[in-house]
Amino acid sequence: MQRPGPTEYGSHFGTYINLVPEEDVVGAMAAQLDEMLALLRPVPEAVGNVRHPPYTWSVKEVVGHLADSERVFGYRALRFARGDATPLPGFDENAYARMAEFDRCSLSGLVAEFEAVRRSHLSLFRHLPEPAWERRGVANNTTLSVRALAYVIVGHVRHHGVILRKRLAASS
């Protein structure tokens, strides 16, 4: 599969897409799940609510944000892959995190939730017919292809994974 071209996404998504050099985005998505589970499963529950300055979110809030964002990006990909041209709104990740109250959840439960969401998206992307990857739609006033959304999913988790690794290293 080709990488998404610059006409397949808004410039702000380029930050995430540029973090994914792989051509096989579904393979990268699967490998990333294993990496994130290896990183997060051993983290003690007590570390889950820690906020490491300058960051304002706890580790739990970051993991919850990853699941929420992946759901949003995956929903967009599903809609566009199925040819639904209805423009979709954006979402405010800070409002989502605040309303979710992730700190009341167990870290292990949030990690399991992220895993379930990712496994669902792996199934979705593995079963897409080839023409679906190039289909496009509009979300948050930005045109996106299904292919670009798959790369955004991987790049978004990579972005936060770097931050989580630094934060968790500081906690040990």
Domain segments of the chain: what residues? 23-171
CATH of domain 23-171: 1.20.120.450
Q: Is the dihedral of CA 45, 41, 118, 88 positive or negative?
A: positive
Q: CA–CA separation, 34 vs 125, rounded Å?
A: 17
Q: What is the pLDDT of residues 78-104, one digit of tens each?
A: 999 999 989 999 999 999 999 999 999
User: Taking the model in full, what pTM does it have?
Assistant: 0.96
pLDDT given for residue 91 in this prediction:
95
pLDDT given for residue 53 in this prediction:
80
Residues in the chain: 172
Q: What is the pLDDT of residues 14-25, one digit of tens each?
A: 999 999 999 999
Phi–psi pair at 83, nearest 5 degrees: 80, 15
Q: Is 13 helix (H, G, I), strand (E, B) or coil?
A: helix
pLDDT given for residue 46 in this prediction:
94
Q: CA–CA separation, 164 vs 167, rounded Å?
A: 5
Both tokens of residue 117? Answer: 């969401």
Exposure string (b/e) for 136-153, b if CB count within 10 Å is 16 or more? bbebeebebbbbbbbbbb
Both tokens of residue 51? Answer: 């906020």
Q: Is 145 helix (H, G, I), strand (E, B) or coil?
A: strand
- The segments of the chain whose pLDDT lies below 50 read none
pLDDT given for residue 1 in this prediction:
79
Could you tell me which of 167, 156, 169, 154 has the C-alpha nearest to residue 59?
167
Angle at CA 19, nearest 5°, toward 160 and 135? 105
